[in-house]
Amino acid sequence: MSWFKNLQVYRLPAPWAKTADELNAALAPHSFVPAASNELLRQGWDQPRPGSDLVHVVNRQFLLMLTTEKKLLPASVINQVAKARAAEMEEAQGFAPGKKAMKDLKERVANELLPRAFSTKTSTWVWIDPVNGWLVVDTSSPSRADEVLKLLLKAVDKLPVESLRVQRSPVGVMTSWLEADEAPAGFTVDMDATLRAAGESKAQVAYKRHTLEPADVGRHIEAGKQCTRLALTWDSKISFVLDEKLAIKSVKPLDVLQEKESSIRNGDERFDGDMMLMTAELAKMLADVVEALGGEAKA
């Protein structure tokens, strides 16, 4: 498997008592079935690895996969066909179809075209760490993560999941790191950052693969800008970007971890080895990120 690239992070009780078999049984009625010819969208839980259960378990870590099948039926195509049909109707009856008739015509055209529409499949991965209480959705989109979470809540009755909350504002903490030119223990600051003004202007400056010179960055901070996005490396093992909403993006394992993976040959073994390594390292990294942001905020 590939490493998760973007982490939308949620919290479960640690430890979480739900077993893989219980979770698998809850997901089974919501498993993926290909869309029928007249369906525009179909979603469901699928096997993370061919031949596995809906919940794939390695070293007490759970991996889930949501499959989404969507038909591609652009509004422009429907409008084009409907316009041609409307012209035929006008010629036959001597007047153009009205607003309601045109709406009905577009619906009929869409229903006719749907069985012939191309479809695309996408997969969204979910990692559940019942030992340390993490639930992570691999997407850069908060709305997509919310959608996945709603489907999980629909399948799993009373899933005790919450948003991750920390004691200190990520914006304030990242700004202080840049201002002091010092990252917290175990982290290094890399060469990407975005600083944005808090006022109405929303003026911002973005560094891309550019050395963050303390004097230069300091001038922007003095002018009222704050850091909303910062590239970091954790423990010389994983690089990532932390943003103002506590999302972790552009996750990349570095060479020291890639070397550990290279010794595994068999496909299934490689998949499980990747999963074991990824979940173990990300669990430690997430704990350190939370600690660097002042620890978790409890209700």
Mean pLDDT score of the chain:
89
Question: How far are the Cα atoms of 7, 106, 169, 181, 274 from residue 3, in angstroms, in the given order?
Answer: 11, 43, 27, 30, 7
The reply to whether 149 and 18 lie within a common domain is: yes
Is 262's pLDDT higher than 60?
Answer: no
Q: What is the mean pLDDT of residues 274-299?
A: 94
Predicted pLDDT of residue 287: 97
The reply to whether 229 and 145 lie within a common domain is: no
Predicted pLDDT of residue 244: 95
> Is residue 2 assigned to a domain?
no
pTM of the predicted protein model:
0.84
The reply to whether 155 and 254 lie within a common domain is: no
The reply to whether 205 and 253 lie within a common domain is: yes
The reply to whether 21 and 150 lie within a common domain is: yes
Share of residues in the chain with pLDDT > 90 (%) = 59
Q: What is the mean pLDDT of residues 84-96?
A: 79
Name residue 136's amino acid. V
Predicted pLDDT of residue 235: 95
> Is residue 64 assigned to a domain?
yes
The reply to whether 41 and 103 lie within a common domain is: no
> Is residue 20 assigned to a domain?
yes
Is 259's pLDDT higher than 70?
Answer: no
**pLDDT (tens digit per residue) in 116-171:** 767 788 999 999 999 999 999 999 999 999 999 999 999 998 899 999 999 999 99
Rounded CA separation 81/185 (Å): 62
90 pLDDT tier (thresholds 50, 70, 90): confident
The reply to whether 14 and 69 lie within a common domain is: yes
The reply to whether 220 and 134 lie within a common domain is: no
Looking at the structure of the chain, the number of domains it has is: 3
Predicted pLDDT of residue 261: 56
The reply to whether 54 and 120 lie within a common domain is: yes
Name residue 223's amino acid. A
Our CA dihedral for 190, 196, 198, 199, rounded to 10 degrees, sits at: 160
Full residue range of the structural domain in which residue 39 is found: 9-73+116-162
Rounded CA separation 12/133 (Å): 4
Predicted pLDDT of residue 204: 87
The reply to whether 69 and 185 lie within a common domain is: no
Predicted pLDDT of residue 118: 73
Is 189's pLDDT higher than 90?
Answer: yes
Beta strands in the chain (DSSP E): 7-11, 41-46, 56-58, 61-72, 118-129, 134-138, 162-163, 187-197, 204-207, 225-234, 238-243, 248-253
> Is residue 56 assigned to a domain?
yes
The reply to whether 66 and 147 lie within a common domain is: yes
> Is residue 42 assigned to a domain?
yes
The reply to whether 18 and 68 lie within a common domain is: yes
